[in-house]
Structure 1
């Protein structure tokens, strides 16, 4: 049954009224002078966080360091309704992201991100390589709800903006070294220096490495007497009792960023920025958590594996253990091979920002950017010692974008932004796939080398109008055109054509190009009113979309030609309250929202309308609604004691699902999980002596909870499965010297050693017959020394 919008918004509105009624009207002049104001640029002009009528979580560099958050993924723990997860296994070095239950997790270039990620206003158009280290940053802004009328690219779920430190006229620097559990080593350093009176440079670098925490075990070594044709990988004379061939979940990451700022006149600001990152590791820490013996037992992959029942030892290795992927030659297959669990990423980019103050009320901004990466990774989609589902993936990518923005004022009461955005993107996706599990004894092995082109053009504008004192009305409009084409190549493993054998008809895909193009209009309208210096209330409604595309994994030519899908869209309603209470010692923000979510891009299981055969077509196959409430708190009840917290509640339902989606997704299934998510942090700065000569000692404690997450239907299709909820606690103790330029910190993450699963891949039926899951990091410690110059 479709619920009314007021269900979510009235609940939030009752809290707004209670807070407003209890708010004393304190004078702000002295408090403003004493306490810092958080400044954000979410609307591309400097505004206090509490004056911006958007749901924003803003985190500065100092708070990130105190929480030991060093990459983009980590910020999700304290941001309500946000889920970021560094993917693994079948996804490579990619970052899955959703905000308020809307996002994207598939790395394939046929799909668009659901959450926009911007590094210094440069849009990152792919999930691959998006989990940047937070190197030398000023702050992070998390914008919840659809974006587009103020940003270069449309984002249906929200946007994450990472703002780096800019070069300036001061000479300064810092160096930081950490050592910890599992031979964790992190070194980061940065320097800022003037080259001339108008030319300034800033450079920063990072390297971090750590051993993995899930052992990949040689099955033949662990079970040397089994007659199931699973060959031993380690030499017979190897003296290792553990039989471990690799440690999954390790880290080996290096990055450098440099910026050159030239200010030839007070009205011109030109900045050139470049970065390079490289990562070379084993695969993510994943283990088999379930299997369907009926499905998996049908795989004729080795002489022993074809015999039912399969021994549980193929699957059950341990909580922090999985088996190596090794295969002997099997009947009907093309050879045998070993796949090491590797993933490698090399990425670099340049951007040029040019800001011109045309007049005191008009500014022109130009942002030009270019980015490249190469990504190689190996997938083991059954996660057993039997090569039932494997793949080699190699992506070559480049992306160019140009954005122009004109920011201006008309009198004292009108601000505006007019902009244009263009991007051109090319990915060549090489893949070697061994997916013999589709139909027993009908092997499907092929090599693909697919170019994917995508481009986007948009015009957007926003007007901020203050018709009377304390009332602000904001309106925005965006027009987008986009196009994408995907050319398929299908070869035998020796690169010959046509495919032999070709049991599913993939051969005619060779050289076939599928195309998508479309346009979209989005809008936003909001009003906010400042009841007092302490209380701002706002209401907003707007739209957003995630771009359409082409089905990237067709089994028949019809799947590709007919399998283009259009944008999924959302109309979002939100009401919010922002408060600064008790001489701004307490900042409390709350928002309620309702999303009318339509044309959801969903995989189908029935391809009868697309020529039949095995099905991986993606279509706009569902509609639904999502609603929720979010709260954020920051308090300093006494000097030196700070408390921060966040809480979100999400719920919703599907209102329609195309029957071709199949029984794996039903109308009564949850459209969004988890329902509850919260975090809490507290720290206190202790002065170690009366005159401060011994410096300060700061203990800090953080805890974050994430509710149960949907898995889908298991071996019993009438039962919907969930991943367990989990609570992660971290602690940190920091000493700073009296000059505040030297600190030593001891930190413990996952303090109570919680065993948890943040993400998983379930394929118990029409796929490899197993479910494997990422395993969260166990308890670990680190000691960090930081010196600032």
Structure 2
């Protein structure tokens, strides 16, 4: 289906999103849970059930059919099939059955969702898009378009968002604006992860994995009962794997080259000095739960994450040899000549190397307190604090050519506080209601040292070398409310409002490397000490009507709005780009119709939705800063990394999800998604990077299929083979220059396979898996082309090759 992501340089819109019916919940890796006898659909939850504890996905029973998941998307316990939202819910068992261990892989099973790990220029971050709406740039000056939550706590940035799915109970993915249903306004949708809460009794589990490229995964959890009503849980994960893109020393591989580059010191005979695309991730979480009765549930959680790996697996995919000294620096499908090395020049008195690793460390604490004031009234308080630091280096042109060199060192520090209060209640049988307030305050300090020598190729006087140390402060205040009316049997009418007030200020620090006054030919130094402010407010709303025609069929219609705050350009190459780079909020009005059905004695589930997004003042990275620099379109000689309001457009699409269990042990899930749209208006700042006839989203088609069958082995447990296939159509990559043709990533299909054995007691699991079975070579839908006009190169992230793994898991 659709996602829209700006090219990191040019305006590039494309859609992606795997789809698979996710209503099927698996009790554990590799096979479906044994169902209980069928029951009638659950009634609307009372306020005594409202604000259900996070992490408790309760299973409704089914007659040898599809197991149900209970979700809390509307702040109360509801069956997934009773919730009038486009929502995908998946539990830990199905994540394991699909070989998925981090959040970016969830898109493989969710219609119209794209989650992409970013490249070296963006550190440890993730681009998140739902139905064509989201954000790719990690810079703290810009707002995420998709809200990410862990145990109802909002995660405020894209940096550090590629989280391991550690000890999860379930994931809920809500598509469409979520202003009235989540703590923080989210224009595109929300991804909500719920970890397993401490439970009565003592238990634990451990899993070990070994696989291709020396992959080693270790994960485990322990649950303790400390006293009646007091429980604790500790879980941890460690993941390590070698990379899959070779870093090749150009001087070693091409002796006697025209640039005079020689092999570096201690370079091995094969000329490979390292690997991109490594994994090296560790995480630890501990929770303490006080639950003395059914009125009080208080969970306090702390977590720590550390990551130290090579940068993302990227290769040069476009090389204009007229700008790269007549040399084609495309190394091959899985190798690069990028060097992260800079000769002495300008402020660099000596040659030096940038780090080619990304290092992230962060921790957080949260308190989630639920108090039943009466049988019909419940108060929820969610308090959280988070802090992290990330460092990484970049090779901007991704070549060893000293004449077009560019490199950057980045150090991002962040801390965040949030408080949310919700009051859930009930008015007899007439209505359920929720009112709440949300506040967050965050501060980032973005230190960077940039050494840019590709501007005006071969002209040292056009060097741009500066040091930045930019503070970015932001806060958001909001009040929201939702009322669900039950005017007649089977009929529900939902209305919601949210008022949001936001502030953000960005202070530019542009100095020379020694900390003194920066003198440069572009006027960037004149920005030093200047402050850009953004203040805005917005009233969003949602109206939804749903009607249950029968126990098997629910239909709904929804209209909702959302917005993403405005801001200022955070990466100006000239003073004019900064002064003229302010952009306004983008807004969305979304219309949706849908049905949810359970057929043939709950052996088949079919959900269908259609939507139209009316999207205005779309914020995207610009390919051409001519207008901002006061020049005719297409004549700007300077690079452009500005953000602007690209224009207005509409997108429309349909999502179909199918889950079937035709016979005991056989489970099938599939989906098919389609999207299209058009531009209605192109903003003046865009130049010619986008034209009215261009596609606003691609690919138009995407689908997926998953099938597994549990085979009992008399006296020896069971075997469960599973196969998953996901297809993505061709994706628009935008234009490299305002006058060049559109380019596309070709369509591709990825297959994953897994064979799982479980013993009779179902406490021991051994599984063998192969991911990317057909060893398909493909590019991820992000490319870095910000330097093409001056450096002549573009680099892209490469998907992971075929890889295998063997895992053993034990419960006790």
Give the TM-score normalised by the residue count of structure 1: 0.91
> Conserved in 2, the CA contact under 8 Å of 1:333 and 1:443?
no
CA shift at 1:385, angstroms?
Answer: 1.1
Tell me, yes or no, if the aligned pair for 2:396 and 2:787 is still in contact at 8 Å.
Answer: no
User: Whole-Å Cα distance in 2 between the matches of residues 230 and 430 of structure 1?
Assistant: 31
Question: Residues of 1 paired with 2:340 and 2:124: CA distance?
Answer: 23
**Range with bigger deviation, 621-630 or 285-294:** 285-294
Partner of 1:16: none
Does residue 769 of structure 1 match 2:769?
no
Q: Could you tell me which residue of structure 1 aligns to residue 432 of structure 2? A: 415
- Which residue number corresponds to residue 323 of structure 1? 337
Cα distance in structure 1, aligned partners of 2:530 and 2:83 = 49
Alpha-carbon contact 2:303-2:365 (below 8 Å) kept: yes
Aligned-residue offset at 1:458:
0.4
User: 5+ residue gaps in structure 2?
Assistant: 1-36, 42-59
**Where does residue 595 of structure 1 map in the other structure?**
613
Q: What's the offset of the Cα at 1:765?
A: 3.9
CA deviations 1:229-261 (Å, max 9, x no partner) are 3343233xx5x2211111100111000111100
Pairs aligned (count): 742
Aligned match of 2:601 in 571, 574, 583?
583
Residues 539 and 331 (structure 1), Cα distance of their counterparts in 2 relative to 1, 3 Å cut:
same
State the Cα distance separating 1:227 from its structure 2 match.
Answer: 4.6
Indicate which of 114, 119, 125 corresponds to 2:156: 125
Q: Give the drift of 1:29.
A: 4.6
Work out the CA distance in 2 between the residues paired with 1:379 and 1:33.
Answer: 53
- Aligned match of 1:356: 371
Q: In 2, distance between residues paired with 1:586 and 1:203? A: 38
> Larger deviation: 438-447 or 527-536?
438-447
Question: Residue 347 of structure 1 contacts residue 371 of structure 1 at CA under 8 Å; is this kept in 2?
Answer: yes
1:289 is the counterpart of 2:330: no
2:451 to 419, 430, 434: 434
Aligned partner of 2:45 in structure 1 is none
CA distance in 2, matches of 1:244, 1:112: 39
Asked if the contact 1:370–1:398 (Cα under 8 Å) also holds between the matched residues in 2, the reply is yes
**Does the residue aligned with 2:571 lie in a helix, a strand or coil?**
coil
Structure 2 partner of 1:781:
804
**Is the contact between residue 704 and residue 726 of structure 2 (CA under 8 Å) also seen in structure 1?**
yes
1:545 to 563, 569, 590: 563
Q: Distance in 2 between matches of 1:32 and 1:695?
A: 23
Deviation, structure 1 residue 551: 1.1
Cα RMSD of the aligned pairs, angstroms, is 1.8
Residue 290 of structure 2: aligned partner: 262
Residue 17 of structure 1 aligns with which residue?
none
- The alpha-carbon deviation at position 676 of structure 1 amounts to 1.3
Within 5 Å, give how 1:716-755 maps onto structure 2.
717-755=739-777
Match of 2:252, SS state, is helix
Aligned counterpart in structure 1 of residue 503 of structure 2, from 483, 492, 501: 483
The whole-number CA distance in structure 2 between the counterparts of 1:230 and 1:499 is: 31
> CA offsets, 1:354-383, max 9 Å, x none?
111010001000000000110001111211
Following superposition of structure 1 onto structure 2, how do residues 567-578 of structure 1 map, counting pairs within 5 Å? 567-578=585-596
Residue 326 and residue 121 in structure 1: after superposition, are their counterparts in 2 closer, same or farther (change >3 A)? closer
Summarize the Cα distance change of 1:124–1:467 in structure 2 as closer, same or farther, 3 Å threshold: same
Is the 1:543–1:571 Cα contact (8 Å) retained in structure 2? yes
Aligned counterparts of 2:214 and 2:317: Cα–Cα separation in 1: 28
Alpha-carbon displacement from aligned partner over 1:454-501 (angstroms, at most 9, x marks no partner): 000000000000100111000000000000000011111232x2113x
State the match for 2:21 in structure 1. none
- Among 549, 573, 576, the residue aligned to 1:555: 573
| Relative contact order, higher structure (CA 8 A, sep 6+) | 2
Q: CA separation of 1:722/1:443 partners in 2, compared to 1, >3 Å: closer, same or farther? A: same
Partner of 1:563, secondary structure, is coil
* Moved beyond 6 Å, runs of 4+: none
Question: For residues 430 and 368 of structure 2, what CA distance do their matches in structure 1 show?
Answer: 28
2:52 matches 1:52: no
**What's the offset of the Cα at 1:276?**
0.4
Give ranges in structure 1 of 5+ residues lacking alignment: 1-25, 298-307
How far has the Cα of 1:591 moved from its partner?
A: 0.1
Q: In the alignment, which residue of structure 2 is the partner of 1:459?
A: 479
Q: Which moved more, 1:106-115 or 1:435-444?
A: 435-444
Q: Deviations over 1:373-423 (max 9, x none)?
A: 100011112111125221111100001000000111111120011010000
- 1:20 aligns with none
Q: Distance in 1 between matches of 2:755 and 2:198?
A: 31
- Residues in 1 aligned to 2:627 and 2:739: alpha-carbon distance in whole angstroms: 22
Equivalent residue, structure 1, for 2:29: none
Alignment partner for residue 84 of structure 1, among 67, 92, 115? 115
